[in-house]
Structures are given as C-alpha cells and as structure tokens.
Amino acid sequence: MSQTTQNNQTRKAEENSISPAAKQQQLQQQLTPVYKAIDTGQEASVIKLINSLHPAEIAFLIESLPDEEQRDKIWKLVAIEHKGETLNHLNDYIRAQFIEDMPTSELVVTARDMDHDDLADLLPDLPEVVTRILLQSMESQHRKRLESVLSYDEDTAGGLMNTDTISIRADITLETVMRYLRFLGHIPDTTDNLMVVNYEGIYQGVLYLSDLLTHDPELYVSSVMNSDLHGINASTDKTEVAALFERRDLITAPVVDDNGYLLGRITIDDIVDVIRDEGEHTFMSQAGLSEEDDMFAPVLTSSKRRAVWLGVNLLTALLASLVIGLFQPTIEKVVALAVLMPIVASMGGIAGSQTLTLVIRGMALGQLSDKNYRSLMFKELSVSFLNGMLWAVVLAVISGIWFSNETLALVIGIAIIINLLVAAFSGVAIPLLLDKFGADPALAGGVFLTTVTDVIGFFAFLGLASVMLL
C-alpha cells in the first residue's frame, strides 16, 4: 500500500489550499528544500529535486526567484531534456536571457526533441545559426511539418497546431486500425481520436478511440467515424478556436488548409494556455502592463515600460487641469468648489468603468452586436440616471450641510447626474469605437473614459457653479 501512503502525502499538501496565502505556503514548501540545498551547496540534491518537477513547474519556480544569479544557478542544473519545454513556459524576458547565455550546441540539443508547435513558438527567439543547424539536421518529413507550422502566425490555428496526427483511411476495419496502432507502439499525448483522410489527404472525419474500443472490430471505419467535427481552417484566429473548444467540449480538433487538406491537430492543453493568456491579457492591459511583465525584471526595464503609461495618463490629467484652470476666478471666490470637485469626477469615473467592464466582457464573449448595442446603451443610461438621482440627493445633502450653501448643493447634484449619464454613454461608446479603429479596448478604454469623466465632471460642476453661484 505504498501507493496509498504516497497519495496521502500528496493530498496533505493539496488540502485546504483555498486562498492565495495557502498557495504561497505550498510553493514555499516546494522551494524550501531547493533553497536549503543551494545554501548548503548540495548540488546533487538540487538537481534531483528540480528534475522531478514538470517543466511548467520548473518555469514557475524560476519565475518566483527574485535574484538573477539564483535563477541562472538553477537553470544550469535543469536537465537538458527539460530545458526546451521549460523555456516555453518562461516569460519572454527570462527566456531571452537564458537563450543568450546558452552555447549554440546546447540550444540545438534542447530544441531538437520539442513538439513542433512548441518549437515553432521558440524558433523566432533562437539565434539564426541555431535555427539553421536545426532545420538542416531534421529529416525532410519533420522539416516540412515544422515549416508548415512556421508559415502560420502564432495567433492562428496553424500556429497552435501539432503535426503529430495519426491518420487512417475510411475503408479499413477497426481490427486493422488496432493492429496498426499496436505496430506504431505509441500514440501521442492528448489523443482522443484518429483522423480519417481520403487518398488525397483531404480530411473526412475522426474515429474516436472510445468508438474504436466499443464497436465490433469487423466494422469499417467509415461506418463508425464521426463526420460532424469539421476541420478548423489554419488561418482561424486562436480566440475563435478557443471558443469552439469551449462550446463543443473538444479535446483535440483537426486543422485543415483552404482545400480541406489535413495539416495537423490542436490539443486542449494549448487551448487552456490561450484561455489563461486571454484572461491575463485583459487584466494586465487595464494597467498598461503586458501579460509578459515579470515581477522581478530589472528595475530599469520595468521603469521604462511603466513610464510610458504614466506619461499617457499625465496627458489626461493635464487636460482635466486645463479645464479647472478656466474656472480659477470662480474657485477663488468659492473655495468649497475645489474641495468638492474631485468627488464629481471620481463618481463619474467609477460608474463609467462599471459600464466599460461590462461592455469589454460582452465584446470578448462576442455577445454584443449591432443588433443589441442600442438596448445596452438604453439600459446603461437608465441605470446611470437612477444612480445619478440617488447619489445627487445624498451629495447635495452632505454638501449643503457642510458648506451651508443650498445653491452649491443644487449645483453638485445636477453635475453628478450629468457626469453619470456621460459616463454611461462613454462606457458603451468608447470600447465600440476603439474596436472599430482596431485598438484594444481593454488597454486604451480606461484612459479615454477617465479623460471624458474628468473633463466633463470638472466642466459641468465648475461651469454650473460659475453661472449659478456668482
């Protein structure tokens, strides 16, 4: 029962890991022996510890090391057969550094045994000499396959595909298929079906392994195969492919060219990465960061990237300041306006970002169309109007009491309603416009929205005050 004991131990570590804090603890448990081994110079045990991990876990471990020297040390200890896949799991910055430091011969050995889709992702980062040696050393069949993956953008089905398909003809019996598989002796990871092609290599359908195993071996492939699963064109965008996998609960799907010729297959593990990256991308771009941003990249690298975003936002803030500047004489007379004006701007910003978030999500899911965006606009304006009324009253009461000025109370109330309506309108219109012009709403939407709600917020509030209070 040593199996069960082992299971129990694994389980101990996995139990109760509900919060990030627990995850951190778990990670630390993993790291502690590695650190200890490094500190005491026990290279042998570090090597053993590291190479017992999955390449994704090695990458994860390296990324959580803040110290560059420690990263390099660990990297040198990773077994060469794990290096390729580990490189693919590392973020761009660390990967580039490691590749720079690796000798050509090591890079060639590392890359040689990788899956074609993974290798295709890595190739653009490799020195040209390595790429040349690699392509020359490959069998012509392998090279052709790799080149077919390379010819597609990495954001398309062609760039995601693996070329390790097992293809069969429709006019053979299941018995023959089973003999063929036993002859091959190996089925690639993540295979739930065999691809059925005709004599020209045109995709016809799939034979699920489960159907192969449950049907009479005398039957022909043609009568058991499934032709409902259409081939995905190699130029299809990867987010579209991911949506298809999600909606149809697919494990693998065939990739075909414009003529229906079978090129390869896409597997769910790559789709999981696409979905994870999409989520990260949306989340990170809101703060002007990329999903490749490294927690422990050098200070100068990070500073430069972030400076750009701060600069863009400074322009926004300066625009708002220009608007305030127009009303300096008014503020000089009623200084309470300076005290209250940030509230008007910030309420607009919050309400607008709620609408913006909903719209960006709806667009990403493809649920927002020309057919229904009017309804959404109407709804968002209604919601903002109701909330505007509510918070106008609350703020009017607070301001009226604070500064004993009823007109001021009226001014802030009206300004809040105006700004919330503008916020709702912009929250719907800005992402739709950005998308029309090919910009990423998740990246630029927030900046544009804040500009509008700040400018309109200050202008409405101070403008009304100039008219009504002076």
Q: How many residues bind its own copies (CB under 8 A)?
A: 167
Beta strands in 257-309 (DSSP E): 262-267
Closest CA to 419 of 357, 353, 360: 353
Which residue in 272, 393, 401, 467 binds its own copies (CB under 8 A)? 272
> Residue 30: CA atoms inside 13 Å, Cβ hemisphere, count?
21
Beta strands in 235-286 (DSSP E): 252-256, 262-267
- Residues in Cβ contact with 67 at an 8 Å cutoff, skipping those fewer than 6 apart: 296
Instruction: Label residue 220 exposed, middle or buried (CB < 10 Å: 0-12, 13-18, 19+).
Output: middle
Identify which of residues 315 and 468 has a Cβ nearer to its own copies in the complex: 315
Instruction: Count Cβ atoms below 10 Å from residue 87 Cβ, excluding itself.
Output: 27
Which residue in 42, 45, 64, 405 binds its own copies (CB under 8 A)? 64
Choices 43-51, 122-130, 139-147, 353-361; region in contact with its own copies by CB under 8 A: 353-361
Choices 75-83, 118-126, 144-152, 381-389; region in contact with its own copies by CB under 8 A: 381-389
Closest CA to 440 of 274, 288, 236: 288
Q: Is 151 in the site for its own copies (CB under 8 A)?
A: no
Closest CA to 253 of 225, 273, 275, 233: 233
Which residue in 356, 408, 430, 464 binds its own copies (CB under 8 A)? 356
Identify which of residues 104 and 227 has a Cβ nearer to its own copies in the complex: 227
Which residue in 100, 103, 139, 371 binds its own copies (CB under 8 A)? 371
CA–CA dist 469, 192 (Å, integer):
74
Choices 41-49, 99-107, 138-146, 196-204; region in contact with its own copies by CB under 8 A: 196-204
Identify which of residues 24 and 104 has a Cβ nearer to its own copies in the complex: 24
Q: Is 38 in the site for its own copies (CB under 8 A)?
A: no
CA–CA dist 207, 205 (Å, integer):
7
- Residues in Cβ contact with 307 at an 8 Å cutoff, skipping those fewer than 6 apart: none
Closest CA to 60 of 286, 295, 288: 295
Identify which of residues 135 and 240 has a Cβ nearer to its own copies in the complex: 240
Helices (H) and strands (E) in the chain, counts: 23, 6
Q: Minimum CB separation from its own copies for residue 128, in Å?
A: 29
Q: What residues numbered 434-453 form the site for its own copies, per CB under 8 A? A: 435-436, 438, 441, 450
Q: What residues numbered 405-424 form the site for its own copies, per CB under 8 A? A: none
CA–CA dist 230, 316 (Å, integer):
48
Beta strands in 92-240 (DSSP E): 167-168, 193-197, 203-208, 232-233
Choices 43-51, 74-82, 96-104, 253-261; region in contact with its own copies by CB under 8 A: 253-261
Q: Minimum CB separation from its own copies for residue 411, in Å?
A: 15
Q: Is 401 in the site for its own copies (CB under 8 A)?
A: no
Q: Give the neighbor-by-neighbor strand order of the sheet with 252-256.
A: 232-233, 252-256, 262-267
DSSP-assigned letters across all residues of 414-457 = HHHHHHHHHHHHHHHHHHHHHHHTT--HHHHHHHHHHHHHHHHH
Q: Minimum CB separation from its own copies for residue 19, in Å?
A: 6
- Interhelix angle 104-112/80-89, rounded to 10 degrees, is 80
**Interaction pattern, residues 77-96, with its own copies; x per rule: CB under 8 A:** --------------------
Identify which of residues 3 and 140 has a Cβ nearer to its own copies in the complex: 3
Which residue in 41, 103, 370, 470 binds its own copies (CB under 8 A)? 370
Q: Is 69 in the site for its own copies (CB under 8 A)?
A: no
CA–CA dist 396, 411 (Å, integer):
8
Q: Is 303 in the site for its own copies (CB under 8 A)?
A: yes
Q: Is 111 in the site for its own copies (CB under 8 A)?
A: no
Residue 7 φ/ψ region, left for φ over 0, alpha for ψ in the -120 to 50 degree band, beta for the rest: alpha
Identify which of residues 75 and 203 has a Cβ nearer to its own copies in the complex: 203
Q: What residues numbered 10-29 form the site for its own copies, per CB under 8 A? A: 10-11, 14-21, 23-28
User: What's the distance, CA 222 to chain centroid?
Assistant: 40
Q: What residues numbered 310-329 form the site for its own copies, per CB under 8 A? A: 310-311, 313-314, 316-318, 320-321, 324-325, 328
Q: What residues numbered 273-302 form the site for its own copies, per CB under 8 A? A: 273, 275-276, 278-280, 282-284, 286-289, 293, 295-296, 299-300, 302
Q: Is 8 in the site for its own copies (CB under 8 A)?
A: yes
Choices 40-48, 130-138, 141-149, 331-339; region in contact with its own copies by CB under 8 A: 331-339
**Interaction pattern, residues 199-238, with its own copies; x per rule: CB under 8 A:** ---xxxx---xx-xxxxx----------x--xxxx-xxx-
